Structure 1
């Protein structure tokens, strides 16, 4: 029987214990794979801000120790003021590393919960991947950014920020895309290889060309590239509501590692 998004949510909520070392490691590589322009620490809280890009991964307060709940109300207010200076409401990213005292506080304050996301992992040694690369990565960041924005039908004003984010990625990364002369860019994916881990970022397929196998075609090329470079485990993040993408990842052997969600400060 297929696992639905609701099933995943209930299963996650009922888990009595999380693999916190794995969560910490995946969070760390995630930060390196998608670097924010400004990162500040308050104890174990990471405050990530990026003025030119709206991504919540780049603009959120990320608690990294469940036992760090000293002066939470004061520290939350202080962090929220940093977001106010950027002209946006504060956002907290709740992972299994967040203190329950902090989460209870933002619930009491009426913060809004949204975007439950699944972090999934795959053993690349067991993954059924092509023997050869169907697509080679490009080193042209500008061309990749143009393709990614076109596939996502995103605002062109995001180009400078997105190019800056990708250029700031320190681990080796492969920029993959599929396009043709008639339709232009059809699919993109960014794969970041951080030692034995490979992060899959920004997998997108043009709306007019979905359900044609392009997603699995470009994803398997990226994973094959990472495995050739000695990556042993792949990881990715996908919204719980994105059932087609989750089904694709399930087919390739990805399994849930943990969930996270966001909380947004109530606007007066």
Structure 2
């Protein structure tokens, strides 16, 4: 019998700050500024993750009102609606301050975390690996979300902005694009994004197969933890991820100003 692996050899379970940093790395934006504990990210106004301000320091912030106003000007200067992403790392009083300025709450996402090897072993891997998103990959995404021109452009430009390894997965049924996903490896973490299946191909296990392929790629990069972001109202996806061993760590919400 082999000796057990000492606890120190196992990768530490990522905390919220580590996951937030991984989210910033995996969803890059070409314009970035720091203001106190806040990071401001500006792209084309498509995805919320790449067009929002969020805080990585939950300490009290005496300059919060001035900081919010300054961040709003950053968004307006670039023709974007001000948006804050609220997480457990918010400074005290952020939500109240935003609501007092007229911000409205918009649904965010649940952050799930689990063993990457379990995702890789849960199904036969499906899909080819792409070095960047293709038109067929985008076509699958368009069946799963409201694909505005800004969102489409951001997804196509993402590969050139990534500093860490990324992989785009595309599975076809016959010649038709059927399922897709995107993965980013960052140290012990492998994040999954844009998991989508064309409507005519749903409930056939394709998403699970594409995720298995993405997880196998992540293991090759040295990652050990799988994580992803999913809408709290997406019951089918939450059920799938629960079967794959992914559990909720925290949630975030958006606050936007008209």
TM-score category of the 2 structures, normalised to the smaller one? 0.7 to 0.9
Q: Secondary structure at the match of 2:129?
A: coil
Cα shift at 1:235: 0.5
1:49 is aligned to 42
Q: Secondary structure at the match of 2:208?
A: helix
Q: What are the equivalent positions in structure 2 for 1:99-114 lying under 5 Å apart? A: 99-114=91-106
Cα shift at 1:120: 0.4
Q: Does 1:263 align with 2:258?
A: no
Name stretches of at least 5 consecutive residues in structure 2 with no aligned partner. Answer: 1-13
1:4 is aligned to none
1:3 is aligned to none
Is the contact between residue 144 and residue 176 of structure 1 (CA under 8 Å) also seen in structure 2? no
Structure 1: distance between partners of 2:32 and 2:225: 27
Q: Does 1:197 align with 2:185?
A: no
Q: Does 1:168 align with 2:154?
A: no
Structure 2: distance between partners of 1:130 and 1:23: 26
TM-aligned CA distance change 1:241 to 1:132, over 3 Å? closer
Show CA shifts across 1:62-86 (max 9, x none): 0111114121111111111111123
Structure 1: distance between partners of 2:196 and 2:110: 17
2:27 is aligned to 34
Q: Secondary structure at the match of 1:235?
A: strand
TM-aligned CA distance change 1:217 to 1:246, over 3 Å? same
Q: What are the equivalent positions in structure 2 for 1:48-87 lying under 5 Å apart? A: 48-51=41-44, 53-87=45-79
2:11 is aligned to none
Show CA shifts across 1:198-234 (max 9, x none): 0001111112221121111111111122123321101
Is the contact between residue 39 and residue 53 of structure 2 (CA under 8 Å) also seen in structure 1? yes
- TM-score with structure 1 length normalisation? 0.83
TM-aligned CA distance change 1:261 to 1:166, over 3 Å? same
Name stretches of at least 5 consecutive residues in structure 1 with no aligned partner. Answer: 1-20
Q: Secondary structure at the match of 2:218?
A: helix
TM-aligned CA distance change 1:215 to 1:125, over 3 Å? closer
Structure 2: distance between partners of 1:73 and 1:171: 35
Is the contact between residue 141 and residue 167 of structure 1 (CA under 8 Å) also seen in structure 2? no
For the aligned residue pairs, the C-alpha RMSD in angstroms reads 2.3
Q: What are the equivalent positions in structure 2 for 1:99-248 lying under 5 Å apart? A: 99-127=91-119, 129=121, 133-143=125-135, 145-152=137-144, 154-155=147-148, 158-181=151-174, 184-248=176-240
| Aligned length in residues | 245
Structure 2: distance between partners of 1:157 and 1:64: 27
2:82 is aligned to 90
Show CA shifts across 1:182-207 (max 9, x none): 5x211110011112110001111112
Show CA shifts across 1:10-44 (max 9, x none): xxxxxxxxxxx711111111111110121101111
Structure 1: distance between partners of 2:132 and 2:169: 10
